[in-house]
Structure 1
Amino acid sequence: MSETVNGWVDPAFRAVREVFAADFADGRDLGASVAVFVNGRAVVDLWGGVADERTGRVWERDTPAVTFSCTKAVTATAALRVAAESGSDWDEPVTSWWPEFGVADKDSITLADLLTHRAGLPAFDRPVSAAEAADPAAMAARLAAQRPVWEPGSEHGYHGLTFGWLVGEFVRRRTGSTVGDYTRRHLGADLWIGPPPDIAERTARLASPPPDQQAWTDPGPIAPETVAAMARAFRDPDSLVLRATTNPVASYNKSEVLTGGWPATGLVTTARALARFYRDLVDGTLLPPTVLAEATRERVRGRDAVLLLESAFALGYMLPCENLILPAPARSTAFGHPGAGGSIGLGDRENRVALAFTPNLRRDWLAGDRRAHDLVAATYAAL
């Protein structure tokens, strides 16, 4: 284990290293990094394993990784920062800054609705290519012309890909910059939503475990009937969850997708940089404390119309729920966002914790993946 894991931990947090190393020893990780800040101070900075199993390229200190929906918290923060700086109210209609959006019964939708997945636009109504997805203005225009699949504000459902182009349009129209450009200037220079080709080339290559390790075998606290309904939905190409998460159809191992700057799922970064982002959120550097306090207040909780299980959201940040299962000490105070396959970014204003985990072996926690959960648990046990 010692040969696989590199980096440093504060002695008080050695259990985090033990959990991280055990996941490599047991085959739960291929390559990964984890970083933790407490009270603004780095206490964990670890990495190890293989960045590309085809070539054997090792995971180095600055190997970036795709973080999937961890991106949403970064995009949301960009929008919240722009709103605070411009004096915009997230409860004002979207049409106040995007007039073309107010068609097809969408005139009442607010920025808060976009941030809390209540807009009723979780999927595109026709196929979109990866090349088209690189044009944020065109993607936003497509969504502006669509009719919601449910009455806006009446329920919430995960906008897996569309979230980024909807919320990102607020940033683009208010600043003239894409979310990716704005993020690197104001939120973190190593947070790439649309990395340049050289960074895309160094990004860890994603891999999947064998089929027998992908079955949903450990639903934990989720009712079996909910797991069964989710399994059926993921087998149905017409289901809302597949339409919301697989269009555009693309491989995140391809440079075209990585450099395309998808603002809901395209963040490429290190665990260190993502944890630093949450550190800067928690300490008031990125958002005024009063804004962050309001932005992390629970807005919606309940059955997700897309995911079919319980989800809970503040303004763009996910809160502990069936889709973000956290150990008990973190459940009442943590916020952040998980990403497909096991990545996570997490902040906690009360306990002054910031944590990120970025793996390249894509697992699903419903299939027994507890990597991020156990790293969070070890961190809180050491506080």
Structure 2
Amino acid sequence: MNTVRSITTLAAVSAALVVGLGTTAALSAAGADDETLRLHLGTNGTQFVYSNNGDPITQPIGTPKNCLINVDGPLAALDGSDQGPGLKDGSIGIKSGGSKGVPCSRVDASEDLSIRLVGVPDAVKVSLDLELKGGARVEFVVSRGGTEVGSFQARAGSGIVPGQGVDGSTSAPFIATATAADPIVNCRNASDSGPDSGPNDNCYVTLEPGTAFDELAIRPMAGEVSLEGSGDYGNDPAFDTVFTLGAGFDGQLGCTAENDTATIEEGTVYGSFTRLQNTDGSECVLKPYFLSADTEAETVSFVPVDVGAPQPAAYTGTVAFAPKNSSNPFQSQLEYDQDDDGPLGFEFMPWCAGNPFTDPDAPGSINTSVIPAGDTWCIVSESTAIVSATQIRTTWNVVGIGDPKMR
């Protein structure tokens, strides 16, 4: 028997997002040719902003509680030693002391701060707005999937070792770039300037590891550092902390005819997914998605991403394959993986127990009771068409709930 598989995987997200308006649009304008995730910490907003030349998506950073902040997706997450990340006066550090003041806004040599990308593609470089205090020597470790892929240092003042590292610019704004070939950079023209000097004690450091990464750890070895996002530059988005991303979302799905369908066709592989109204009748909020096809593996991958709290979304789909090498081209079965287990988690998709469009759970959605217990998707119909003497194209019409996973 020839088994044809179709799977979508879910990038799970859970925190509140806002489709960008107002200042968000202005923030995403700088560097519009790149797909980016920006950290803006200014008087006009405290947030992460994802942009891929479409409507920007914003992940606000909430008001600190005794200077402690909780940042956990859906675009990015912050973590750190001691009591965790703190925010004070536009500077992120580690909360290690009381409810106010300097301990919240700085990372010292006994602490570390990390930024992890969550619902966005991997980064290929990052530019950091850093405030460096004293004879700073700060290590940056970039990782992908928990494995270190690069290590860099930024040094300032007495932290600079003569003859080591690449010197950055010699006047404000101080700028430096570290690469895999030259991983050490010297900032601020060897100045040990103290804090709170506007851009004069900042350094805009770009890290180019030459490989993709999804996490950045900031670990001072001497002195102190604060992570910032253009606040000392008059909120100029050119000095936001910016992750430049690799291949990104292919679009966004809504629930109207103008934006409800994602379609791909590569050779003999076809997939089309249409988003319906939410099964509980709640407001339909745009979902970014990934959609790709592999003609060699004969698979289609559809990855929707929740915008805001997970929505009870419903979909119809059509997938079609024409296997090139089949011992019996007139037999094929559709498989899927409900929870992204990997190959051992794939199972045959069942047939629906009735018409999913009769008595829908909410107007414009589906009747979820027709999906067999224990499953999240089911087959509505199947058809075949002869492509050649040894090749047949099988098409399945399916429905599902939540965020689908098929292969």
State the TM-score bracket (shorter-chain normalisation).
under 0.3
Q: Give the number of the structure whose alpha-carbon radius of gyration is greater.
A: 2
TM norm structure 2:
0.21
TM norm structure 1:
0.22
Query: Hey, which of these two has a bigger chunk of strand by percent?
Result: 2
Q: Which fold has the larger relative contact order, with Cα–Cα distance below 8 Å and residues 6 or more apart in sequence?
A: 1
